[in-house]
Amino acid sequence: MKAFTVSKAVTVLLLAGLVLLPLYSQLSGNIFILTLFTRIIILALAAASLNLIMGFGGMMSFGHAAYLGIGGYAVGMLAQEGIGSGFIQFPVALAASAIYALVIGALSLRTRGVYFIMITLAFAQMAYYVASGLARYGGDDGLTIYKRSDFSGLIDLGNRVQFYYLCLACLFGVIFLIWRIVNSRFGLVLQGLRSNEQRMQAIGFPAKRYQLVCFVISGTMCGLAGALLANNTDFISPAVMYWTRSGDLMVMVILGGMGTLFGPVMGAVVFLLLEELLSQITEYWALIMGPLLLLIVLFGRGGIMGALGRAGRG
Amino acid sequence: MAEPLLRVENLVRRFGGIIATDHVSLDVAAGELHAIIGPNGAGKTTLISQLTGHLSPHSGSVLLGGRDITYLPAYRRCALGLARSFQITSLLLDFTAADNVALAAQAHAGTSFRFFANARKEKGLRDAAHAALDRVGLAHRADVVVNRLSHGERRELELAVALASKPKLLLLDEPMAGLGVTESQRMVKLLQELRKEVSIVLVEHDMPAVFALADRISVLVYGRVIASGDPAAIRQNEDVKRAYLGDQHVVTHHG
């Protein structure tokens, strides 16, 4: 029954690998791999948050990178103004993302389908141009963050290993929350709406209200990823909000498996590792990456998790 | 006379130049099974959709228990005790039968803004779901995903979902559509049981079923009610016979 499946085994291996990675990095002296995986984990967190609205909620948001920027700018701008405490920066980053999601969601959810994709994209591009216009905070060139968020000795974000584990803990925490949400009353309504909105209205659920709340939860989670990302790069620029980044996040989710708990993590790892490896081989790595992703999406329905599921059934 | 459970007054709905609902008025008394029949394209589904709130009328009013619900959204009407089944089966295909029904029960059992506890382990909801499934004879299929249910089972599940919201009035849009003979007979038997508990508006093509079940029948032709009365009266009605000319045998022979 529910015992052993291939996809479960692979997931467990992946998670164990992520937990043990700093150990490997320390033993082999390979610091680069730790930096790379810190970034992968942060983007996996963003992809997981996107998966909540896209995979479970059926809302194709094409503007998810906006939250990476908002979370990041919250940290960067506060640092610039001399407020270095993470206890202030992180809550502000989450709150700003939540408010943005509330406004954008309330407007976007009046539309459906392609229009929803377009309007979320449009808002994210607006956020991009607003950030480009912030002369005080570097404008187009971005903003260097000279000091990482300070958690007054509780945890040192400057320490690579500690920062890595903080990111990993955030990722696990968010996935745990998503797991609870998906199986809760709210989550069932959400998935019901994905499946058949008219039916859900007929049995007494006002669709928009639930979708909006989900939109806000997802945006807030992604704002957390943004705050971590800014700390990771010690830098924030409008580029993190550019629409191609939103596209990357979508690809990670689809690649890993929409509507699965660990699919986005799998997708982020594979996508970013491929990007890294291919760009070492050739400058034109995107030429290989594009068709490769196309093949996976075309022939591996349900993404990597779907393919593993099929492999498990023989 | 007591206030009717459902009162429709002068309802009008146009699609471009076509009047799909033409000043329709009808009453449904509490405890009644009121059938709406009419040839294809008579506007039956349009009428039902206005009753459930999926479509807004251009004029006229719909009252449920004396309360004006003409422009209430579908989910609010549901909360007031109006449940529907769809002509073309409309279920959550990737959910199990029990999940489909439990969600309907959940809509009427407190807030659904609960984010942490596992809803599938809420005993109240599961019990309500199994009771409704049992009612329509689907208890043994509770954990089957709807995708894998037969057409007949899906029609029964539609009913279970509607029942789970404990409605005062059940709007059934062609519950026999696409059912085989034995399945139809089961459905008629089931409706005969249900009508003891809940008032029903039944839109149906299956004339034997309608005449076997209905207390009153309204006949809709080109969006207009041309006759309304008990089955015997409708059977004798000349206008109805004329409207059904092509289908006349349906009214006379099976009756």
Inter-chain residue contact B112 with A185, CB threshold 8 Å: yes
Inter-chain residue contact B119 with A202, CB threshold 8 Å: no
Q: What is the pLDDT of residues B130-166, one digit of tens each?
A: 999 999 999 999 999 999 999 999 999 999 999 998 8
Q: What is the pLDDT of residues A24-60, one digit of tens each?
A: 999 999 999 999 999 999 999 999 999 999 999 999 9
pTM of the model: 0.88
B163 to chain A: closest CA residue: A203
- How far away is chain B from the Cα of A172, in angstroms, using its nearest Cα? 16
User: Which of the 8 DSSP states describes residue A154?
Assistant: S
pLDDT band for B1, please (50, 70, 90 cuts). Answer: low
The pLDDT of residue B252: 47
How many residues does this entry show for chain B? 255
Q: What is the pLDDT of residues A202-227, one digit of tens each?
A: 888 999 999 999 999 999 999 999 99
ipTM of the complex: 0.86
Please give the Cα distance from B53 to B78 (Å, whole number): 9
CA atoms within 13 A on the CB side of A119: 16
∠ at Cα B191 (B186, B196), nearest 5°? 140
Mutate to test the interface with A, among B49, B101, B116, B146 (most CBs of A within 10 A): B116
pLDDT band for B95, please (50, 70, 90 cuts). Answer: very high
List the one residue out of B147, B166, B209, B162 whose CA is nearest residue B52: B162
Please give the Cα distance from B79 to A205 (Å, whole number): 9
Chain B residues with CB under 8 Å of A188 CB are 99, 102-103, 106, 112, 119-120
Chain A residues with CB under 8 Å of B93 CB are 195-196
The pLDDT of residue A314: 56
DSSP strand pairing (B18-28 vs B82-85): unpaired
Residue among A195, A206, A213 whose CB faces B92 most closely: A195
Tokens of B205: 């093509």
- How far away is chain A from the Cα of B164, in angstroms, using its nearest Cα? 9
Is residue B245 scored above 60 in pLDDT?
Answer: no
Strand ordering across the sheet containing B33-37 = B82-85, B169-173, B199-203, B33-37, B216-221, B224-229
3-state secondary structure of B142: coil
Is residue A174 scored above 70 in pLDDT?
Answer: yes
∠ at Cα B22 (B19, B23), nearest 5°? 150
B160 to chain A: closest CA residue: A203
Please give the Cα distance from B222 to B58 (Å, whole number): 17
Inter-chain residue contact B119 with A198, CB threshold 8 Å: no
The pLDDT of residue A1: 41
pLDDT band for A73, please (50, 70, 90 cuts). Answer: very high
Mutate to test the interface with A, among B78, B112, B169 (most CBs of A within 10 A): B112
Inter-chain residue contact A180 with B108, CB threshold 8 Å: no
**Which residues on chain A place their C-beta less than 8 Å from a C-beta of chain B?**
180-181, 183-189, 191-192, 195-196, 198-206, 210, 213
Inter-chain residue contact A191 with B75, CB threshold 8 Å: no
Q: What is the pLDDT of residues A262-277, one digit of tens each?
A: 999 999 999 999 999 9
- How far away is chain A from the Cα of B134, in angstroms, using its nearest Cα? 19
Please give the Cα distance from A103 to A295 (Å, whole number): 37
B80: left (phi over 0), alpha (psi -120 to 50) or beta: alpha
Ranked by mean pLDDT, the top range of A212-226, B15-29, B79-93 is A212-226
pLDDT band for B248, please (50, 70, 90 cuts). Answer: very low
List the one residue out of A23, A16, A48, A22 whose CA is nearest residue A37: A22
- How many Å separate Cα A279 from the centre of its chain? 22
Inter-chain residue contact A201 with B75, CB threshold 8 Å: yes
What angle in degrees, to the nearest 10, is found between the helix axes of A207-233 and A86-108?
Answer: 140
B10: left (phi over 0), alpha (psi -120 to 50) or beta: left
Residue among B99, B108, B161 whose CB faces A188 most closely: B99
Please give the Cα distance from A313 to B90 (Å, whole number): 30
Residue among A184, A189, A196 whose CB faces B91 most closely: A196
Inter-chain residue contact B103 with A189, CB threshold 8 Å: yes
Q: Over chain A, what is the mean pLDDT?
A: 93
Residue among A196, A204, A210 whose CB faces B79 most closely: A204
- DSSP of B112-141: S---SS-GGG-HHHHHHHHHHHHHTT-GGG
Inter-chain residue contact A185 with B114, CB threshold 8 Å: yes
Question: B40 touching A, CB under 8 A?
Answer: no
Question: B95 touching A, CB under 8 A?
Answer: yes
Tokens of A265: 């993590």
Q: What is the pLDDT of residues B186-196, one digit of tens each?
A: 999 999 989 98
Q: Are B149 and B101 in contact (CB under 8 A)?
A: no
Written as one letter, the residue type at A104 is I
**Burial environment of residue A7 by CB neighbours within 10 A (0 to 12, 13 to 18, 19 or more):** buried
A195 to chain B: closest CA residue: B92
Interface of B with A in 133-172 (CB under 8 A): 161, 164-165
Tokens of B7: 């009162």
Is residue B125 scored above 80 in pLDDT?
Answer: yes
Going from the C-alpha of A166 to that of each of A32, A45, A153, A268, the distances in angstroms are: 18, 12, 14, 18
Interface of B with A in 100-139 (CB under 8 A): 102-104, 106-108, 111-120, 122
pLDDT band for B247, please (50, 70, 90 cuts). Answer: low
DSSP strand pairing (B169-173 vs B82-85): parallel
Q: Are B62 and B25 in contact (CB under 8 A)?
A: no
